Amino acid sequence: MRPAPGRSRVVVGRSLAVVLACLGLAQLSAALVVYRNASQSPLWPTTHGTIVESRVVGVIRGVRPRIRYAYTVDGRTLEGRNVSYGRVRGDRSNAHARGVVERYQVGDDVTVYFHPGHGRIAILEPGADGYPLLTSCFAAALWLGAATLVWLRPIARPHQRDHP
């Protein structure tokens, strides 16, 4: 027995809604992990590090600072690239990038904050400003909103002609 005409469109529409909802929930989950790490980072253990690279690099829409630092956790030498959680990655202005590069010169000694359970997760400027959570929640809301629209109104059926 074949499904009723239009039923396959409903199934496809609802399947798409489920996929969009999963993407939204994954985005929200990732945002919460980042925000939790950012807000707890001032309490993380610290170690001494050294800046090994500090320069401004071009990206698709502007520039960004590229900072690399070496640090040691439990006798292992590691390398970090994250300055902070927040606007550092989002601000692509030349003034911002140059300011970060001026603060962190090659050879400078720095204090590195590292995650107590995952030494490879490290930053130089602890704390959270809410920006990562705000943008990720907005993206998640868009995904979930799209899923809701697709769920409530499956792909439109083609116009049916009146038969005499």
Listed in sequence order, the residues at least 6 apart from 139 whose beta carbon sits closer than 8 Å to its beta carbon are 24, 27
Considering only CA atoms, which of 30, 53, 3, 12 is closest in space to residue 156?
12
Q: What local confidence, expressed as pLDDT, does residue 164 receive? A: 55
| pTM for the whole structure | 0.68
Over the chain (164 residues), what is each successive 10-residue block's mean pLDDT? Answer: 61 74 77 82 96 90 90 97 70 80 97 96 85 70 75 59 54
CB-based burial, 137-163: b 16+ in 10 Å, e otherwise: bebbeebbebbeebeeebeeeeeeeee
